[in-house]
């Protein structure tokens, strides 16, 4: 059984065709510059050469048509006909307070995606375009929405409510949602399986450390707390996002620099984080190199990033009254042994002990703590596409 996974951005469309019999990727690819001059589709069939199509893609409908053509291409294709595709799974950013689980796309679901445009102004419109393009290109095939906010929807009220007048929750659904939910769901589930933990009771902290970074606490796979909020700006320090900040900073910059709130929010989203602190880069490899060459600001940015992760782990351990496993994932978490070790150096009070040899690993499931460690520390590569495909299969079976 084959599932097509689609992840639409405003001018991009990423896809993977996954064979659910062995969970292998049959083909994957990316449409870039949709609606802009110079549109390009890069199609990568497993075990074959890349195939590039440069044709105008005025919208996501044309993009999905070209993806389906590439998948069925006599030379570069991997299927004879779209009949082989059982269903399509879509990454959808925001479901507001409406859904806490993936669901089959219906008119009601599409209405919710539309209602949530203000909560996900960049992503939800693109996600809806992707769904409508697949409906038009493959009529009658089930489409499934897998929400990035679903995992965080299981948080209890005390974790998701902001301490602001309740009318704003009631009027505008202003609350904490959490993002990277599909990754947190996948990694916490894999950590339980790989670590041989109790699926009902395991207390797991997942550190998703990439250009965007977030951290979650879950018990038996159910989210207890997560660091991102109404938007993905809250929480950890990120590549270009500030993470937690006193909101009065916004007012102060507005008043002193003559900027609007929107302009300052743009600075907090795109020019802050380790990039803003260091003035060097948002890329952790560049920062590491600059710090090693003696750049003080780059070192402070890295130290602050690690310090914030360690503080959240402490807070989430308190929230769960303990922790059985800590899992690192995403670009930095999967590849950077120094960051993993530096975070864990703060956790001696929990009995965390890293095994340097075991920590010398990249991109595969691994236990990186020593046999004596009181908490299992793991590296679990995230795989949001596979998580979406599994959710899609679950809903169509």
Catalytic residues: 148
Q: Which stretch binds ligand AMP (CB under 6 A): 18-26, 157-165, 205-213, 224-232?
A: 205-213
Which parts of 243-302 interact with ligand AMP (CB under 6 A)?
283-285, 288
Q: Which distant-in-sequence residues (6+ apart) come within 8 Å of 116 by Cβ?
A: 93, 94, 95, 96, 98, 124
Coil vs helix vs strand at 161? coil
* Cβ count near 256 (within 10 Å): 8
Q: How many helices (H) and strands (E) does the chain have?
A: 15, 14
Give dist(CA 190, CA 224) in Å, integer: 17
Name the one residue in this structure whose structure tokens are 């109404």. Answer: 230
Give dist(CA 92, CA 177) in Å, integer: 14
Check binding of 187 to ligand AMP (CB under 6 A): no
Give dist(CA 91, CA 264) in Å, integer: 29
Name the nearest CA neighbour of 126 among 76, 169, 90: 90
**53, 330, 343, 393: residue in contact with ligand AMP (rule CB under 6 A):** 330
**12, 42, 211, 231: residue in contact with ligand AMP (rule CB under 6 A):** 211
Q: Which distant-in-sequence residues (6+ apart) come within 8 Å of 107 by Cβ?
A: none
The β-bridge partners of 225 are: 217
**69, 115, 336, 355: residue in contact with ligand AMP (rule CB under 6 A):** 336
CB of 377 to ligand AMP, least distance (A): 18
Q: Which distant-in-sequence residues (6+ apart) come within 8 Å of 232 by Cβ?
A: 179, 180, 212, 214, 241
Check binding of 231 to ligand AMP (CB under 6 A): no
Check binding of 239 to ligand AMP (CB under 6 A): yes
CB of 205 to ligand AMP, least distance (A): 18
Q: Which stretch binds ligand AMP (CB under 6 A): 27-35, 163-171, 210-218, 341-349?
A: 210-218
Check binding of 229 to ligand AMP (CB under 6 A): no
Check binding of 331 to ligand AMP (CB under 6 A): yes
**25, 95, 332, 347: residue in contact with ligand AMP (rule CB under 6 A):** 332
CB of 212 to ligand AMP, least distance (A): 6
Nearer to ligand AMP, 77 or 210 (CB): 210
CB of 302 to ligand AMP, least distance (A): 10
CB of 291 to ligand AMP, least distance (A): 11
CB of 128 to ligand AMP, least distance (A): 24
Q: How many residues bind ligand AMP (CB under 6 A)?
A: 13
Nearer to ligand AMP, 88 or 342 (CB): 342
CB of 241 to ligand AMP, least distance (A): 12
Q: Are 224 and 188 in contact (CB under 8 A)?
A: no
Check binding of 210 to ligand AMP (CB under 6 A): yes
Beta strands in 185-335 (DSSP E): 203-209, 213-219, 222-226, 325-329
* Residue 385 DSSP code: H
**335, 359, 369, 392: residue in contact with ligand AMP (rule CB under 6 A):** 335
Give dist(CA 375, CA 369) in Å, integer: 8
Beta strands in the chain (DSSP E): 2-8, 13-19, 24-32, 40-45, 51-53, 85-92, 103-104, 143-147, 203-209, 213-219, 222-226, 325-329, 366-367, 376-379
Nearer to ligand AMP, 152 or 212 (CB): 212
Residues that bind ligand AMP (CB under 6 A): 210-212, 239, 283-285, 288, 330-332, 335-336
């Amino acid at each position: 059984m084959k599932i097509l996974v689609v992840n639409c951005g405003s001018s991009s469309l990423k896809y993977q065709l996954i064979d659910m019999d062995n969970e292998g990727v049959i083909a994957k690819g990316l449409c870039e510059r949709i609606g802009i001059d110079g549109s390009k589709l890069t199609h990568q069939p497993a075990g074959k050469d890349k195939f590039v199509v440069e044709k105008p893609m005025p919208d996501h409908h044309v993009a999905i048509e070209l993806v389906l053509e590439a998948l069925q291409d006599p030379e570069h294709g991997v299927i004879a006909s779209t009949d082989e595709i059982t269903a399509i799974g879509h990454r959808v950013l925001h479901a507001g307070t409406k859904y806490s689980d993936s669901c089959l796309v219906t008119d009601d679901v599409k209405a919710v995606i539309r209602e949530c445009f203000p909560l996900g102004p960049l992503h939800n419109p693109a996600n809806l375009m992707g769904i409508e393009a697949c409906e038009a290109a493959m009529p009658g095939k089930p489409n499934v929405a897998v929400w990035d906010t679903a995992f965080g929807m299981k948080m209890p009220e005390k974790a998701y409510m902001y301490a602001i007048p309740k009318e704003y929750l009631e009027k505008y659904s202003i609350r904490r949602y959490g993002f990277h939910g599909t990754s947190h769901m996948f990694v916490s589930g894999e950590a339980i399986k790989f670590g041989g933990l109790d699926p009902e009771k395991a207390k797991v902290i997942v550190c998703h450390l990439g250009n965007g970074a977030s951290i979650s606490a879950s018990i038996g796979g159910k989210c207890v707390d997560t660091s991102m909020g109404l938007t993905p700006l809250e929480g950890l320090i990120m590549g270009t996002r500030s993470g937690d900040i006193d909101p009065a900073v916004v007012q102060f910059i507005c008043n002193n620099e003559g900027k609007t709130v929107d302009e300052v929010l743009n600075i907090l989203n795109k020019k802050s984080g380790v990039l803003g602190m260091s003035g060097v880069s948002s890329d952790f490899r560049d920062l590491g190199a600059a710090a090693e060459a003696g750049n003080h600001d780059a070192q402070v940015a890295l130290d602050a990033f690690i310090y914030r992760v360690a503080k959240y782990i402490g807070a989430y351990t308190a929230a769960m009254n303990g922790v059985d496993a800590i899992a690192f994932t995403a670009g930095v978490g999967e590849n950077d042994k120094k960051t993993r070790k530096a975070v864990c150096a703060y956790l001696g009070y929990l009995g965390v002990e890293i095994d340097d040899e075991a920590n010398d690993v990249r991109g595969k499931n691994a236990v990186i703590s020593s046999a004596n460690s009181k908490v299992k520390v793991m590296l679990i590569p995230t795989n949001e596409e596979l998580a979406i495909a599994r959710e899609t299969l679950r809903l169509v079976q």
